[in-house]
A and B are shown apart, each in its own frame.
Chain A
């Protein structure tokens, strides 16, 4: 029964830190900022712990708050006139040894770079779709956006990625 679930803060941090950090990193492109966002999200989780009803609710809540905090951070940076993704280099991806193979690591870096060029809303939809494996309905609930808008962002994002990948990714794959 969901009502019997007793959330354990430390356990939730252990389980979800990778998800929260990765979402924030892919949305902002800044490791330092992503870590700061992740810390803030978990501290907010601590304040809302009593309201969480189940592990699924905790995951949903963490995704929603992470995306919202990341959007806020991007907005603040825009207001301050700072350009995001300035740190988009090989360091953005996980270290190569953490990946299955150098090919996978380089592919991930390329895809992260391509994703970084997308508009924020499309990037958010694609990251939730492919990193978190969410359905469009779940993405709509997470982002608090209409389903049709999410589907449109997914389609347009993929189309834009295809166009960019046609130029960059194929060149890269041929070169490997």
Chain B
């Protein structure tokens, strides 16, 4: 090691950081965490709103589907009743025609 290197070792030493550095770092860290917390709260609110909207939409869709299904069932019941009535009327009509033939 020559003279210059010895001088470098002596001259290039760590310097004390400004007294305020740690305080500023801790303050900025606190602010950053507060910002992150606020962002997280907003994200949670947004997520909760989306979930609620999804649940409400799902419920409305499900209710609509149930009503459609019930309507379809009612329609099928009416058709069945009409078919039965139609059949009964045809039977009655046949019997009446049969009586008419006999009376002639």
Contacts and interface: CB of A to CB of B under 8 A. Distances in A.
Contacts of B25: 13, 17, 38-39, 42-43
Interface in B1-45: 4-5, 7-18, 21-22, 24-26, 28-29, 32
B32 A43 contact: yes
Contacts of B17: 17-18, 20-22, 35, 38
Main secondary structure of the interface of B (DSSP, over half): helix
Contacts of A38: 17, 21, 25
Contact of A18 (B5, B9, B15, B32): B15
A127 B22 CA distance: 23
A20 B101 CA distance: 119
B34 to A, nearest CB: 13
Interface residues of B, number: 22
A131 interface: yes
A84 interface: no
A93 B11 CA distance: 10
Contacts of B5: 130, 158
Interface stretch (A51-59, A74-82, A105-113, A143-151): A105-113
Interface-central residue, B7, B16, B26, by most chain A CB under 10 Å: B7
Main secondary structure of the interface of A (DSSP, over half): helix
* Leading 10 A-B pairs by shortest Cβ distance: A111-B11, A21-B17, A17-B17, A108-B11, A130-B12, A130-B8, A22-B14, A42-B25, A94-B15, A131-B12
Interface in A31-46: 31, 35, 38-39, 42-43, 46
Nearest to B36: A47
Contacts of B15: 18, 21-22, 25, 93-94, 98
Contacts, number: 89
8 contacts: A10-B26, A13-B25, A20-B17, A22-B17, A35-B17, A107-B11, A108-B11, A130-B9
Nearest to A38: B21
Interface of B: 4-5, 7-18, 21-22, 24-26, 28-29, 32
Nearest to B6: A130
Contact of B11 (A35, A46, A112): A112
Nearest to A16: B17
Nearest to A161: B4
Given A35-B21, A158-B5, 14 more contacts: A13-B26, A17-B21, A20-B17, A22-B13, A25-B15, A26-B12, A35-B17, A39-B25, A39-B28, A93-B15, A94-B15, A130-B12, A131-B13, A169-B4
